[in-house]
Structure 1
Amino acid sequence: MINRAIARRLLAGFSAAFLILAAMAPAVLAQSRPLSLIRDAEVESTIRAYADPLFKAAGLDPGGIRVLLVNEDSINAFVAGGMRLFINTGLLMRADTPNQVKGVIAHETGHIAGAHLSRIQEELKNATIEQIIGLVLGGAAAVASGDGGAMVAGATLGSEIAKRNLLKYSRTQESAADHAGMSYLDATKQSSRGMLEFFEKLEGQEFLLGQNQDPYLRTHPLTTDRIDTVRAHVDNSPLSDAKDPPEDLARHERMVGKLKGYIWPLSRVEQEYPASDQSIGARYARAIALFRVSRMQEALREMDSLLADVPNDPFFQEQKAQILFENGKLAEALPLYTAAYNQLPDEPLLGLELAHVEIELEQPELTKSAIRHLEGVTTIEPRNARAWEFLAIAYGRDDNLPMAALAQAEHAMAIGDSEEAWAWAKRALEGLEAGSPGWLKANDIIAEAQMIKENK
């Protein structure tokens, strides 16, 4: 049985809006150090707004591609595990325009569509990789506290795999990805100028020693011929002077301000965004940076000014709710989380955050509401480990112990612990009605866990 003391321990340390997770991505840059990943509803939504039209232009299903944000100051983006696109926060914060980010995404989409990673060894396609990606996406690794400082090491790959430079493309593949990316930008009526500007940012690093280069250059060989080809396309394309739409410019300003607010120290944020700067991005960055050093009242004043300018903005509501939540004002945070979720009910992180505060308030009617919200989250992200963890708590408080056990089984499967999943699924079967959806799912988990055991 999941009692309240256990529930408190499970809920401790969860930062609602901005999650920093530590895990090892497969053979990233042929290094074997932990890689911290960020999950944030607004930033993910922004990247999706940029990327999905390009994925569609490439004939890819956007729903089948996962975009992951790497908390790393260097400029980099790469594809791993087939349909997974990783983008460094350093790249996003250094991009001057949305079009530059789109140029990088278009290029990486060319690698995906061209199956340029198909030579990766079979071990990078098996369950181990699925478990690692599940850890990253589901939040199974420990989550940072509000200041984003504390991290724990997650899953790691063997040194033999890590030593292989599996993500390094050939010049032929790079050229093919350039051509494909430019065609996707053309198809979506966007300029390729951002791709050229991004290459020009990196061009001066070609003569630096390898360890001083941004990692993008170490996996994506940049040649004069490639730059000349993109420049020729820009010089001759009727779309080269196409501008980013105002809504994308606004998204970019907010995304950059938010990332800097969470990642940079307050002193650097205040230097970049002095009080005289009353732009939305500046106020957003200051609000978040002030929140991170527990200056709640100042942070709330900045958020209130933003909400006065952009009333009912779901991500501003979410951010203000987080400030209140992290400062123990749960009852005040609840209506803001609810308002944000009601506007974006298909955004899983908002559903997760709303359910979190509902569980923390420890009211029976809110527990039932949390169950509904978490069931929605797990429908969208079936391997979201934290959602299953919260569901186990909520079901336990609702005295539905068989479903609590099933949620524990799902959580264990999401973090790659098939033996634990098998044990919890067996326990769930003892109280589930034969033939019910939960009973069927428990049997599926048992069968999957047994298959994993036999294949080890």
Structure 2
Amino acid sequence: MLKLTVSLMRRPSRSAVSLLAAAVLGMGGPMGHAQVNLPALGDSVSQDLDLGTERRIGDQVMRQIRPDPDFLEDALLLEYLQSIWAPLVTTAKQLGNIGDETNERFAWEIFLVRDRSINAFALPGGFVGVHLGLIAMTNSADELASVLAHELSHVTQRHIARRIAGDSRNSMLALAGLVAGLIVASRTHSSDVANAAIVGSQAAAAQASLSFSRDMEREADRVGFTVMNQAGFSQAGMYSMFERMEQANHLMDSGSYPYLRSHPLTTERIGDARLRMGTTDYERPVGSAEHALMAARAKVLMDARAEAWIALQNLDAGARELSGKGSAESKGYEQLAARYASALASIKMRDYPRAENALRSAELTLQLMGHDARAERLLRYLRAELNQARGQAADGYAALKPLAAERSRPMLIQKAQLARVDPNPAKVREAAEGLQTYVSLNPMDPLAWAELGALWSKLDQPLRAVRAQGEERAAMGDLNGAIDRFRSGLRQSRGRDADQVEAAVIDSRLRSLLYERRQLLAEMYPRGVPPGAELP
């Protein structure tokens, strides 16, 4: 805002009439003629932005996000995140924060973003993104749950719709102040007054917008605290998380000018969280081996630079001499996490002997700490990942053998990835058929379709492979890419030896996607689709 103000004050002066014309033209579209309604609480805000429209906006945003390289598809991390997210959503429904219509229309989907920053965000329509940097810095599921409950509450309280309505009102407020200032300027023939009108009206609108956002943040903290507590997470999780954020940011944040921020000061939020705990004695939430391993995994995957991985490889050496504050149990978690991070980083660097040594150290550390089935499971997956990277599929299957009864998504994905380096066609077909059954029940899973496409290609099933590639693009929201793939499959199906059943499926899906694209374009361009907007 300060940079914008300076640039406006240095702008060459223009007549009041030309400035007014620029301001009116700058409003663009229907904004200048829209009826402005004050933002209301809860579902009554639907008069400004109904549930269906908000979901469509969210879908459009996700169509831009999913193809991005930083949209991370990691089956284990996503599974862990969903294990925290799902009970929060269920509790919000039980508390009445999520009504029947909102529950039906919104996605309630959580996803990962490859980013080192400590952040999470809510999007229209019930989508919530979590940066890997946030997972990496937490010490317990309770701390992570506090952030997810906060973002969930942004969705359930319709904060996005309320903000849009508020911004619309503030835009009109800014324009009104600008017009009034320009009228005065035209009477006084002063360009300084005109510039002051621009700066003043924009500053007033920005201040109103920021204040509105701070109120939303406080409400999300309050509602989120109740949700996480009722969902079975420690009520100290939010307090502990704010303390951790304060420690992470205090060197970069002087605490000045709190009213120029969209969030309340962290110290203020710490105090509010402590008050909500009442007379309960504060104890930092206890971590777990499972969370320590998932935080370590996030730490490795959040930064794909070689220098970052080399630094993480060296954590194994430092893990042997951990000292300082903390219980023996917490130090054990730190050692376990350090060795896991070193092993995974070594796999990424293709330093397999070092990865083997670090993984063995992690397995020994866990044995000394005592039996923990969830942590043992994660180390088995890491061993399978190491064997996959080495091209040793049989050893990878052997590592997963104690988990033979598991039918989870991570298991299906891991077996598919092992099958890609397996020369045994029977194993490849087994993995492909398992994934084919899964995607028939979960068709909006891009990673599963991508793995399935690779397996069908390896089995020399070109039509099935191209269909899987098309479904992958469709699941990502890339309708044009999906249509291209299905058209390619339709051309291939004209050969004599083509699988006619698969050809019929491809033809049906192509027709469905073309219809979906026409409907989408009709929504985007209600007055008619402009030339070139739709591919031939």
- Shorter-chain TM-score: which interval? 0.5 to 0.7
CA distance in 2, matches of 1:104, 1:404: 40
Tell me the secondary structure at the aligned position of residue 58 of structure 1. Answer: helix
Note if contact 1:352-1:377 (Cα within 8 Å) is conserved in structure 2.
Answer: no
1:372 aligns with 2:436: no
Note if contact 1:170-1:221 (Cα within 8 Å) is conserved in structure 2.
Answer: no
CA distance in 2, matches of 1:168, 1:399: 60
Give 1:68 deviation, angstroms: 2.2
CA distance in 2, matches of 1:261, 1:333: 21
Q: Aligned to 1:270, which of 314, 318, 339?
A: 314
Give 1:75 deviation, angstroms: 1.9
Higher RCO (CA < 8 A, seq sep 6+): 1
Give 1:58 deviation, angstroms: 0.9
Deviations along 1:343-394, whole A, 9 cap, x unmatched?
54222x4322321321332433223213213224434652333433443343
Q: Which has the larger radius of gyration?
A: 2
Match of 1:78 in 2: 121
Q: Which amino acid aligns with 1:332?
A: D
Q: Aligned to 1:104, which of 147, 153, 161?
A: 147
1:425 aligns with 2:469: no
Tell me the secondary structure at the aligned position of residue 79 of structure 1. Answer: strand
Note if contact 2:136-2:295 (Cα within 8 Å) is conserved in structure 1.
Answer: yes
CA distance in 2, matches of 1:404, 1:168: 52
Q: Which amino acid aligns with 1:234?
A: M
Note if contact 2:109-2:128 (Cα within 8 Å) is conserved in structure 1.
Answer: yes
CA distance in 2, matches of 1:315, 1:207: 35
Note if contact 2:107-2:125 (Cα within 8 Å) is conserved in structure 1.
Answer: no
1:328 aligns with 2:391: yes
Match of 1:144 in 2: none
Q: Aligned to 2:223, which of 170, 180, 184?
A: 180
Match of 2:91 in 1: 57
Q: Which amino acid aligns with 2:319?
A: P
Structure 2 CA distance for partners of 1:320 and 1:110, relative to 1, 3 Å: same
Give 1:319 deviation, angstroms: 1.0
Match of 1:19 in 2: none
Deviations along 1:429-453, whole A, 9 cap, x unmatched?
7553499766644542343245456
Give 1:79 deviation, angstroms: 0.9
Deviations along 1:243-286, whole A, 9 cap, x unmatched?
756xx522222222333345544445535843345632232223
The number of aligned residues is 375
CA distance in 2, matches of 1:289, 1:93: 14
Q: Which amino acid aligns with 2:356?
A: L
Q: Which runs of 5+ in 2 are unaligned?
A: 1-59, 63-67, 166-205, 323-331, 525-532
Match of 1:95 in 2: 138
TM-score between the two structures when normalised by the length of structure 2: 0.59
Match of 1:15 in 2: none
Structure 2 CA distance for partners of 1:209 and 1:449, relative to 1, 3 Å: same
Q: Aligned to 1:43, which of 64, 73, 77?
A: 77
CA distance in 1, matches of 2:502, 2:512: 13
Matching of residues 190-201 of structure 1 within 5 Å: 190-201=233-244
Give 1:119 deviation, angstroms: 5.0
Structure 2 CA distance for partners of 1:451 and 1:302, relative to 1, 3 Å: same
Tell me the secondary structure at the aligned position of residue 86 of structure 1. Answer: strand
Structure 2 CA distance for partners of 1:397 and 1:190, relative to 1, 3 Å: closer
Structure 2 CA distance for partners of 1:232 and 1:206, relative to 1, 3 Å: same
Tell me the secondary structure at the aligned position of residue 235 of structure 1. Answer: coil
Deviations along 1:125-183, whole A, 9 cap, x unmatched?
xxxxxxxxxxxxxxxxxxxxxxxxxxxxxxxxxxxxxxx99999612211211111121
Note if contact 1:169-1:221 (Cα within 8 Å) is conserved in structure 2.
Answer: no
TM-score between the two structures when normalised by the length of structure 1: 0.68
Match of 1:21 in 2: none
Match of 1:282 in 2: 338
Tell me the secondary structure at the aligned position of residue 117 of structure 1. Answer: helix
Q: Which amino acid aligns with 1:43?
A: L
Match of 1:447 in 2: 515
Q: Aligned to 1:115, which of 131, 142, 158?
A: 158
CA distance in 2, matches of 1:397, 1:182: 50
Structure 2 CA distance for partners of 1:73 and 1:41, relative to 1, 3 Å: same
Match of 1:30 in 2: none
Q: Which amino acid aligns with 2:469?
A: Q
Structure 2 CA distance for partners of 1:289 and 1:197, relative to 1, 3 Å: same
Tell me the secondary structure at the aligned position of residue 240 of structure 2. Answer: helix
Note if contact 2:309-2:349 (Cα within 8 Å) is conserved in structure 1.
Answer: no
Structure 2 CA distance for partners of 1:421 and 1:71, relative to 1, 3 Å: closer
CA distance in 2, matches of 1:169, 1:250: 40
CA distance in 1, matches of 2:210, 2:419: 43
Give 1:109 deviation, angstroms: 1.7
Q: Which amino acid aligns with 2:320?
A: A
CA distance in 2, matches of 1:419, 1:72: 28
Q: Which amino acid aligns with 2:354?
A: E
Tell me the secondary structure at the aligned position of residue 73 of structure 1. Answer: coil
Tell me the secondary structure at the aligned position of residue 288 of structure 2. Answer: helix
Give 1:111 deviation, angstroms: 0.9
CA distance in 2, matches of 1:451, 1:202: 45
Give 1:107 deviation, angstroms: 1.4
Match of 1:291 in 2: 347
Note if contact 2:347-2:386 (Cα within 8 Å) is conserved in structure 1.
Answer: yes
Match of 2:418 in 1: 357
Match of 1:407 in 2: 468
Structure 2 CA distance for partners of 1:180 and 1:322, relative to 1, 3 Å: same
CA distance in 1, matches of 2:211, 2:460: 52
Structure 2 CA distance for partners of 1:434 and 1:332, relative to 1, 3 Å: closer
Structure 2 CA distance for partners of 1:377 and 1:266, relative to 1, 3 Å: farther
Deviations along 1:390-445, whole A, 9 cap, x unmatched?
43343345454443342233233234443443354354475534997666445423
